[in-house]
Amino acid sequence: MEGVRKGEDAKIYIDGKEYLLPTVIGTEDELGIDIRRLRSESGAITLDPGYANTGSCISSITYINGEEGILRYRGYPIEQLAEKAEFLEVCYLLIYGKLPDQREYNYFVDKVTRHSLLHEDMKNFFAGFPNTAHPMCVLAAMVASLAAYYPDEKNDLELMDLNIVRLLAKVPTIAAFAYKKSIGQPFVYPRNDLSYTQNFLHMMFAVPAEEYKVPPLFNKALNILLILHADHEQNCSTSTVRMVGSSMANLFASIAAGICALWGPLHGGANQRVIEMLQMIYEDKGDVAKYVAMAKDKRNNFRLMGFGHRVYKNYDPRARILKSLADELLPELGYDDPLLEIAKHLEEVALKDEYFLERKLYPNVDFYSGIIYRAIGIPTNMFTVMFALGRLPGWIAHWRELRLDPSMRIHRPRQIYSGPSKRDYIPFTERG
Ligand SMILES: CC(C)(COP(=O)(O)OP(=O)(O)OC[C@H]1O[C@@H](n2cnc3c(N)ncnc32)[C@H](O)[C@@H]1OP(=O)(O)O)[C@@H](O)C(=O)NCCC(=O)NCCS
């Protein structure tokens, strides 16, 4: 297996019999027990609901150390990429494994720029949704619909790259059109003289009646936000993309499934919930202590949204970057958001509280992202769509890595059955 070393065999005993299982060691010394032969040799499977201890693949895309709060894409620290890179550069890095040289970058940007138009017929689809439709629902449906227009990649590498470009290019257009539809404004078509992020902001906020110039600070903030969301290894939506892709479903279908997985409030939907929670606290006279107490109360199912993470047991490095971005950006924009103060106060109270310390619950990426999105004019119900826009290259990179892996097998976990043993069918007349 490429990129990993062999470790010392692990021994397990089942019913007194010993089994030797190989181990693998990753680039950063992460240790895994390879259980692929376990069932065929012993009849036993492993049980890990929620997959907290299960490695589903070997991947060279992203490294996270949750204990130390480290996140790197293809080896590059997230802090450096957020400060220095362009989002499309990061897309290339994640998907193709290296930073592009100038020629490769120009070619890639040019291709993505030139594929941003939607097939005109697709505009009719937007008309079919009610104005109240959540934009995530529209996004998922539209991305799946792209498969109706573009051929399945199968194993054609050139077509795979073309569909990757199409997807990166068209998702911002779909997202902006979904927003325009929801507020009853005409669609604003993509413009090839603008950068990826400028073009998206232009499609969102321009109207035919007057000229719109993308504020450079909005553009800078969006670039950082998208980079921070670009990948996060085997999270719920990315694992979904890999799961669906493993059935040889096409790129568009696999990514649409990832969008649906991201929608949930425990995953990408959390950024919208954070703002709703902060607003609720603000309207409740800023009584932060009351909400911290509610989050700790086991009889109450309220949770502090934007707090806690399956992998980070330390401050999420992305949240750290976003907190200082919010501090820098809001005064520069002259935007005095009372929710930022509530958020900081909430963080301060929670991080001194034994409950949160014991469970290692820290702010995650969603805690401050919504405040910045608000400051650049993105409405709350579009927050999860923004997350999807950022996560797109990560999903694509994982889908591509999976599909180019010659050892790929369809993903098919096992289970431990706990239902009734065999019993005979009873006709209605005899049922008690
Ligand atoms: C992210 C999240 C789903 C991770 O879940 P998980 O790894 O399965 O962790 P658990 O749900 O088992 O939580 C562990 C403990 O911390 C508590 N906990 C976790 N997140 C909490 C939160 N945001 N507020 C209050 N308590 C929380 C749980 O109640 C549990 O307590 P217990 O051990 O006394 O039962 C979870 O922290 C959460 O729901 N956070 C809020 C939603 C959110 O911000 N999601 C975005 C993630 S990027």
Q: Please indicate, yes or no, if residue 357 is contained in any of the structural domains.
A: no
Angle at 278 between CA 274 and CA 284, to 5 degrees: 145
**pLDDT confidence band for 243 (50 / 70 / 90):** very high
Q: Report strand pairing: 76-77 vs 70-73.
A: antiparallel
Q: Please indicate, yes or no, if residue 95 is contained in any of the structural domains.
A: no
**pLDDT confidence band for 128 (50 / 70 / 90):** very high
Average pLDDT over residues 63-76: 96
For 248-275, the pLDDT digits (tens) are 999 999 999 999 999 998 888 888 899 9
Q: Please indicate, yes or no, if residue 11 is contained in any of the structural domains.
A: yes
The whole-number pLDDT of residue 2 equals 75
C-alpha dihedral over 22, 27, 29, 31, to 10 degrees? -30
CA end-to-end span of the chain: 58
Q: Are 189 and 122 in contact (CB under 8 A)?
A: no
CA 393, 397, 400, 402 torsion-angle sign: negative
Which among 270, 279, 304 is positioned nearest to 383, based on CA atoms?
Answer: 270
How far does the centroid of ligand 1 lie from the alpha carbon of residue 233, in Å?
Answer: 19
Using DSSP, state whether 336 is helix, strand or coil: coil
266 ligand 1 Cβ < 6 A: yes
286 CB-contact burial (10 Å; exposed 0-12 / middle 13-18 / buried 19+):
middle
The whole-number pLDDT of residue 334 equals 85
Using DSSP, state whether 56 is helix, strand or coil: coil
Which among 212, 221, 209 is positioned nearest to 191, based on CA atoms?
Answer: 212
Q: Largest Cα–Cα distance in the chain?
A: 79
Res. 407: pLDDT tops 80: yes
Average pLDDT over residues 317-336: 91
Whose Cα sits closest to atom 27 in ligand 1? 303
The whole-number pLDDT of residue 432 equals 81
The whole-number pLDDT of residue 424 equals 97
127 CB-contact burial (10 Å; exposed 0-12 / middle 13-18 / buried 19+):
exposed
Write the secondary structure of 77-134 as one string of H (helix), E (strand) and C (coil).
EHHHHHHHCCHHHHHHHHHHCCCCCHHHHHHHHHHHHHCCCCCCCHHHHHHHCCCCCC
Helix axes 135-145, 157-183, angle to 10 degrees: 150
Separation between Cα atoms, residue 7 and residue 359, nearest integer Å: 31
Q: Please indicate, yes or no, if residue 40 is contained in any of the structural domains.
A: yes
Q: Please indicate, yes or no, if residue 134 is contained in any of the structural domains.
A: no
Instruction: For residue 389, give the amino acid letter.
Output: L
Which letter does DSSP use for residue 62 in this model?
Answer: E
64 ligand 1 Cβ < 6 A: no
> Can you give the CATH number for the domain in which 40 is found?
2.20.28
310 ligand 1 Cβ < 6 A: yes
The whole-number pLDDT of residue 254 equals 98
Q: Are 272 and 384 in contact (CB under 8 A)?
A: yes
Tell me the sheet residues that pair with 363. 307
Q: Please indicate, yes or no, if residue 46 is contained in any of the structural domains.
A: yes
The whole-number pLDDT of residue 154 equals 84
**pLDDT confidence band for 333 (50 / 70 / 90):** confident
For 165-183, the pLDDT digits (tens) are 999 999 999 999 999 999 9
> At which residue do the structure tokens 């921070």 appear?
228
Q: Are 58 and 1 in contact (CB under 8 A)?
A: yes
The whole-number pLDDT of residue 1 equals 73
Which among 340, 393, 335 is positioned nearest to 93, based on CA atoms?
Answer: 393
Using DSSP, state whether 14 is helix, strand or coil: strand
Average pLDDT over residues 73-94: 98
**pLDDT confidence band for 239 (50 / 70 / 90):** very high
Res. 199: pLDDT tops 80: yes
Sequence-ordered list of residues with C-beta below 8 angstroms from that of 104, at least 6 positions apart, any chain: 92
The whole-number pLDDT of residue 174 equals 98
361 ligand 1 Cβ < 6 A: yes
Would the pTM count as exceeding 0.85? yes
Q: Please indicate, yes or no, if residue 203 is contained in any of the structural domains.
A: no
User: How many domains does the chain contain in total?
Assistant: 1
How far does the centroid of ligand 1 lie from the alpha carbon of residue 76, in Å?
Answer: 28
**pLDDT confidence band for 336 (50 / 70 / 90):** confident
Res. 3: pLDDT tops 90: no
Considering the chain, what is the average pLDDT of its residues?
Answer: 95
Residues designated as active site: 309, 366
Q: Please indicate, yes or no, if residue 53 is contained in any of the structural domains.
A: yes
Most informative mutation of 67, 232, 262, 266 for ligand 1 (most atoms within 8 A of CB): 266
Q: Which domain holds residue 23?
A: 5-65
The whole-number pLDDT of residue 262 equals 96
- Token pair in block for residue 148: 């109706």
C-alpha dihedral over 140, 143, 146, 150, to 10 degrees? -130
Residue 47: count other Cβ atoms within 10 Å of its Cβ: 10
Whose Cα sits closest to atom 33 in ligand 1? 359
304 ligand 1 Cβ < 6 A: yes
